[in-house]
Protein backbone atom coordinates (compact mmCIF):
# COMPACT_ATOMS: atom_id res chain seq x y z
CA UNK A 1 0.00 0.00 0.00
CA UNK A 2 1.16 3.54 -0.68
CA UNK A 3 -0.12 7.10 -0.42
CA UNK A 4 1.28 10.63 -0.53
CA UNK A 5 0.19 13.51 1.65
CA UNK A 6 1.19 16.72 3.41
CA UNK A 7 1.81 16.60 7.13
CA UNK A 8 2.82 18.41 10.32
CA UNK A 9 5.39 16.75 12.55
CA UNK A 10 4.14 16.27 16.11
CA UNK A 11 7.04 14.30 17.53
CA UNK A 12 9.42 11.39 17.08
CA UNK A 13 11.20 8.72 19.10
CA UNK A 14 14.27 6.72 18.35
CA UNK A 15 14.02 3.25 16.90
CA UNK A 16 17.14 1.12 16.83
CA UNK A 17 20.50 2.70 16.20
CA UNK A 18 19.70 4.97 13.27
CA UNK A 19 15.94 5.14 12.67
CA UNK A 20 13.02 7.03 14.20
CA UNK A 21 9.28 6.53 14.54
CA UNK A 22 7.66 9.81 13.53
CA UNK A 23 4.19 11.01 14.49
CA UNK A 24 2.47 13.35 12.04
CA UNK A 25 -0.86 15.06 11.56
CA UNK A 26 -1.57 14.60 7.87
CA UNK A 27 -3.98 16.53 5.72
CA UNK A 28 -6.01 13.57 4.46
CA UNK A 29 -4.99 10.55 6.56
CA UNK A 30 -5.29 11.90 10.09
CA UNK A 31 -2.76 11.45 12.84
CA UNK A 32 -0.35 8.83 11.56
CA UNK A 33 2.89 7.15 12.60
CA UNK A 34 5.62 5.79 10.38
CA UNK A 35 9.20 4.56 10.50
CA UNK A 36 11.86 6.84 9.02
CA UNK A 37 15.08 5.00 8.21
CA UNK A 38 18.07 7.21 8.99
CA UNK A 39 15.78 9.48 11.00
CA UNK A 40 18.50 10.05 13.61
CA UNK A 41 21.08 11.22 11.10
CA UNK A 42 22.50 14.74 11.18
CA UNK A 43 20.59 15.51 7.98
CA UNK A 44 17.19 14.33 9.17
CA UNK A 45 17.17 15.39 12.83
CA UNK A 46 16.46 19.08 12.05
CA UNK A 47 13.67 18.05 9.66
CA UNK A 48 11.90 15.80 12.17
CA UNK A 49 11.39 18.50 14.80
CA UNK A 50 7.85 19.26 16.07
CA UNK A 51 6.11 22.02 14.17
CA UNK A 52 7.79 21.42 10.82
CA UNK A 53 5.83 20.64 7.66
CA UNK A 54 6.75 17.94 5.18
CA UNK A 55 5.57 16.06 2.12
CA UNK A 56 5.41 12.36 2.92
CA UNK A 57 5.02 9.06 1.14
CA UNK A 58 3.80 6.21 3.33
CA UNK A 59 4.37 2.61 2.30
CA UNK A 60 3.39 -0.64 3.98
CA UNK A 61 2.57 -4.19 2.96
CA UNK A 62 -0.76 -4.10 4.80
CA UNK A 63 -2.98 -1.18 5.82
CA UNK A 64 -2.74 -1.87 9.56
CA UNK A 65 1.08 -2.04 9.59
CA UNK A 66 3.21 0.76 11.01
CA UNK A 67 4.69 1.38 7.57
CA UNK A 68 7.53 3.60 6.46
CA UNK A 69 7.67 7.32 5.77
CA UNK A 70 9.74 8.86 3.01
CA UNK A 71 9.93 12.54 4.02
CA UNK A 72 10.70 15.64 2.00
CA UNK A 73 11.11 18.83 4.06
CA UNK A 74 8.53 21.57 3.69
CA UNK A 75 8.23 24.63 5.91
CA UNK A 76 10.78 24.33 8.72
CA UNK A 77 9.35 26.31 11.63
CA UNK A 78 10.94 24.47 14.58
CA UNK A 79 13.85 26.85 15.17
CA UNK A 80 11.53 29.86 15.23
CA UNK A 81 9.03 28.09 17.48
CA UNK A 82 11.74 27.12 19.98
CA UNK A 83 12.91 30.74 20.19
CA UNK A 84 9.89 31.91 22.22
CA UNK A 85 7.90 30.55 25.19
CA UNK A 86 4.64 30.91 23.25
CA UNK A 87 6.10 28.80 20.44
CA UNK A 88 7.44 26.11 22.78
CA UNK A 89 4.22 25.80 24.76
CA UNK A 90 2.10 26.25 21.65
CA UNK A 91 3.53 23.40 19.61
CA UNK A 92 3.39 21.10 22.65
CA UNK A 93 -0.21 22.04 23.39
CA UNK A 94 -1.20 21.57 19.77
CA UNK A 95 0.33 18.09 19.74
CA UNK A 96 -1.54 17.19 22.95
CA UNK A 97 -4.82 18.26 21.39
CA UNK A 98 -4.25 16.37 18.16
CA UNK A 99 -3.39 13.22 20.12
CA UNK A 100 -6.96 13.23 21.43
CA UNK A 101 -8.08 12.28 17.92
CA UNK A 102 -8.31 8.62 16.92
CA UNK A 103 -5.24 7.52 14.99
CA UNK A 104 -5.64 7.55 11.18
CA UNK A 105 -9.02 9.31 11.38
CA UNK A 106 -9.02 12.17 8.80
CA UNK A 107 -9.68 15.68 10.10
CA UNK A 108 -8.63 18.02 7.26
CA UNK A 109 -10.21 21.06 8.91
CA UNK A 110 -8.13 20.62 12.07
CA UNK A 111 -5.03 20.07 9.94
CA UNK A 112 -5.56 23.42 8.22
CA UNK A 113 -6.29 25.16 11.53
CA UNK A 114 -3.16 23.65 13.09
CA UNK A 115 -1.08 24.91 10.15
CA UNK A 116 -2.39 28.44 10.66
CA UNK A 117 -1.65 28.25 14.37
CA UNK A 118 1.92 27.12 13.80
CA UNK A 119 2.48 30.14 11.55
CA UNK A 120 1.21 32.53 14.24
CA UNK A 121 2.75 31.39 17.52
CA UNK A 122 5.28 34.21 17.17
CA UNK A 123 2.35 36.63 17.56
CA UNK A 124 0.80 35.83 20.96
CA UNK A 125 -2.09 38.27 20.56
CA UNK A 126 -3.18 36.43 17.40
CA UNK A 127 -2.32 32.92 18.58
CA UNK A 128 -4.46 33.28 21.70
CA UNK A 129 -7.80 33.73 19.93
CA UNK A 130 -6.83 31.21 17.24
CA UNK A 131 -6.15 28.56 19.89
CA UNK A 132 -9.52 29.14 21.55
CA UNK A 133 -11.18 28.68 18.16
CA UNK A 134 -9.07 25.57 17.56
CA UNK A 135 -10.30 24.08 20.84
CA UNK A 136 -13.90 24.80 19.84
CA UNK A 137 -13.26 23.05 16.51
CA UNK A 138 -11.66 20.12 18.33
CA UNK A 139 -14.71 19.72 20.56
CA UNK A 140 -16.91 19.81 17.47
CA UNK A 141 -14.82 17.18 15.65
CA UNK A 142 -15.00 14.91 18.69
CA UNK A 143 -18.79 15.21 18.81
CA UNK A 144 -19.15 17.75 21.61
CA UNK A 145 -19.55 20.98 19.67
CA UNK A 146 -21.03 24.09 21.27
CA UNK A 147 -23.91 26.06 19.74
CA UNK A 148 -22.98 29.73 19.99
CA UNK A 149 -25.20 31.07 17.20
CA UNK A 150 -28.50 31.67 19.02
CA UNK A 151 -29.93 31.88 22.52
CA UNK A 152 -31.01 28.55 23.98
CA UNK A 153 -33.98 30.19 25.72
CA UNK A 154 -35.30 32.71 23.17
CA UNK A 155 -33.71 31.84 19.84
CA UNK A 156 -32.43 35.39 19.37
CA UNK A 157 -29.04 35.87 17.73
CA UNK A 158 -28.03 39.18 19.30
CA UNK A 159 -26.80 40.15 22.78
CA UNK A 160 -25.36 36.68 23.42
CA UNK A 161 -23.11 36.97 26.48
CA UNK A 162 -23.35 33.62 28.29
CA UNK A 163 -22.98 29.90 27.59
CA UNK A 164 -25.00 27.34 29.51
CA UNK A 165 -22.68 24.85 31.25
CA UNK A 166 -25.41 22.22 30.93
CA UNK A 167 -26.32 22.47 27.26
CA UNK A 168 -23.27 24.15 25.75
CA UNK A 169 -25.56 26.68 24.05
CA UNK A 170 -25.35 30.45 24.00
CA UNK A 171 -27.69 32.49 26.21
CA UNK A 172 -28.67 36.14 25.85
CA UNK A 173 -28.04 38.74 28.55
CA UNK A 174 -31.70 39.03 29.55
CA UNK A 175 -32.44 35.31 29.53
CA UNK A 176 -29.31 34.44 31.49
CA UNK A 177 -29.39 37.27 34.02
CA UNK A 178 -31.23 35.34 36.77
CA UNK A 179 -28.55 32.60 36.60
CA UNK A 180 -25.54 34.72 35.65
CA UNK A 181 -23.47 33.38 38.56
CA UNK A 182 -23.83 29.86 37.14
CA UNK A 183 -23.17 30.72 33.52
CA UNK A 184 -19.95 30.66 31.54
CA UNK A 185 -18.98 33.90 29.82
CA UNK A 186 -19.12 34.04 26.02
CA UNK A 187 -16.16 36.27 25.11
CA UNK A 188 -16.79 39.09 22.67
CA UNK A 189 -14.48 37.71 19.95
CA UNK A 190 -16.66 34.59 19.68
CA UNK A 191 -19.92 36.49 19.32
CA UNK A 192 -21.30 36.38 15.80
CA UNK A 193 -22.58 39.95 16.00
CA UNK A 194 -19.28 41.51 17.05
CA UNK A 195 -18.84 44.68 14.97
CA UNK A 196 -15.21 45.60 15.65
CA UNK A 197 -13.11 42.74 14.27
CA UNK A 198 -9.99 44.83 13.70
CA UNK A 199 -8.85 45.05 17.33
CA UNK A 200 -7.27 42.20 19.23
CA UNK A 201 -9.29 40.56 22.05
CA UNK A 202 -8.58 41.79 25.56
CA UNK A 203 -6.74 39.67 28.12
CA UNK A 204 -10.04 39.20 29.96
CA UNK A 205 -11.74 37.93 26.80
CA UNK A 206 -8.90 35.51 26.13
CA UNK A 207 -9.10 34.15 29.68
CA UNK A 208 -12.89 33.80 29.34
CA UNK A 209 -12.39 31.95 26.07
CA UNK A 210 -9.97 29.42 27.53
CA UNK A 211 -12.17 29.04 30.61
CA UNK A 212 -15.10 28.23 28.32
CA UNK A 213 -13.30 25.64 26.19
CA UNK A 214 -11.46 24.25 29.21
CA UNK A 215 -14.74 23.55 31.00
CA UNK A 216 -16.09 21.42 28.16
CA UNK A 217 -12.73 19.76 27.43
CA UNK A 218 -12.60 18.68 31.08
CA UNK A 219 -16.19 17.45 31.09
CA UNK A 220 -16.26 15.60 27.78
CA UNK A 221 -12.63 14.64 27.12
CA UNK A 222 -10.20 14.74 30.04
CA UNK A 223 -12.61 13.69 32.77
CA UNK A 224 -14.41 11.15 30.60
CA UNK A 225 -11.11 9.50 29.62
CA UNK A 226 -9.60 9.71 33.08
CA UNK A 227 -6.66 11.83 31.96
CA UNK A 228 -5.15 14.94 33.50
CA UNK A 229 -5.65 18.42 32.16
CA UNK A 230 -2.39 18.83 30.23
CA UNK A 231 0.32 20.99 31.80
CA UNK A 232 1.20 22.22 28.29
CA UNK A 233 -2.19 23.93 28.02
CA UNK A 234 -1.85 25.58 31.40
CA UNK A 235 1.67 26.77 30.52
CA UNK A 236 0.53 28.14 27.16
CA UNK A 237 -2.33 30.13 28.67
CA UNK A 238 -0.25 31.45 31.57
CA UNK A 239 2.51 32.58 29.21
CA UNK A 240 0.09 34.26 26.78
CA UNK A 241 -1.70 36.16 29.53
CA UNK A 242 1.63 37.23 31.03
CA UNK A 243 2.84 38.56 27.67
CA UNK A 244 -0.42 40.33 26.94
CA UNK A 245 -0.43 42.05 30.34
CA UNK A 246 3.19 43.11 29.98
CA UNK A 247 2.48 44.53 26.50
CA UNK A 248 -0.65 46.28 27.73
The CATH number that applies at residue 56 is 2.40.50.140
- Whether 160 is in a domain gets the answer no
> Which pLDDT score is estimated for 73?
97
> Which pLDDT score is estimated for 198?
52
Q: Do 208 and 187 contact (CB within 8 A), yes or no?
A: yes
> Which pLDDT score is estimated for 16?
93
Return the ∠ at Cα 81 (arms to 77 and 83), rounded to 5°. 125
Query: Domain residues for 209?
Result: 80-148+186-247
DSSP string, 54-123: EEEEEE-SSTTS--EEEEEE----HHHHTTSHHHHHHHHHHHHHHTTSPTT---HHHHHHHHHHHTTTT-
58 and 8 together in one domain: yes
> Which pLDDT score is estimated for 171?
97
97 and 208 together in one domain: yes
Structural Rg of the chain based on CA atoms:
20
100 and 38 together in one domain: no
- Domain end marker among 48, 76, 104: 76
- Domain end marker among 15, 47, 76: 76
> Which pLDDT score is estimated for 187?
96
- Domain end marker among 76, 104, 131: 76
> Which pLDDT score is estimated for 195?
46
24 and 62 together in one domain: yes
> Which pLDDT score is estimated for 125?
82
23 and 95 together in one domain: no
> Which pLDDT score is estimated for 248?
58
Give the dihedral sign, CA 101/55/79/111: negative
| Mean pLDDT by groups of 10 residues along the chain of 248 residues | 97 95 98 97 96 97 95 96 93 97 97 97 90 98 97 95 97 96 96 60 93 98 94 92 71
> Which pLDDT score is estimated for 93?
96
- Whether 57 is in a domain gets the answer yes
* pTM to 2 decimal places: 0.94
- Whether 178 is in a domain gets the answer no
Tell me the C-alpha distance between 28 and 178, whole Å: 46
Tell me the C-alpha distance between 80 and 75, whole Å: 11
| Number of domains composing the chain | 2
Tell me the C-alpha distance between 32 and 24, whole Å: 5
> Which pLDDT score is estimated for 14?
95
> Which pLDDT score is estimated for 196?
47
134 and 239 together in one domain: yes
20 and 139 together in one domain: no
Amino acid sequence: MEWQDEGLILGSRKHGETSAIVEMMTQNHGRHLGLVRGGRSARMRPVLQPGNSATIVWRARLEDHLGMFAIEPGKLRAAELMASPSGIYGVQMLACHLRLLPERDPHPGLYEAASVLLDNFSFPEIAASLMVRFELALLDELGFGLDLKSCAATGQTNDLVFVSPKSGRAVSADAGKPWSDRMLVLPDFLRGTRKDTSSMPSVTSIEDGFRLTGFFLERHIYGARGIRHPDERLGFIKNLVKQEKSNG
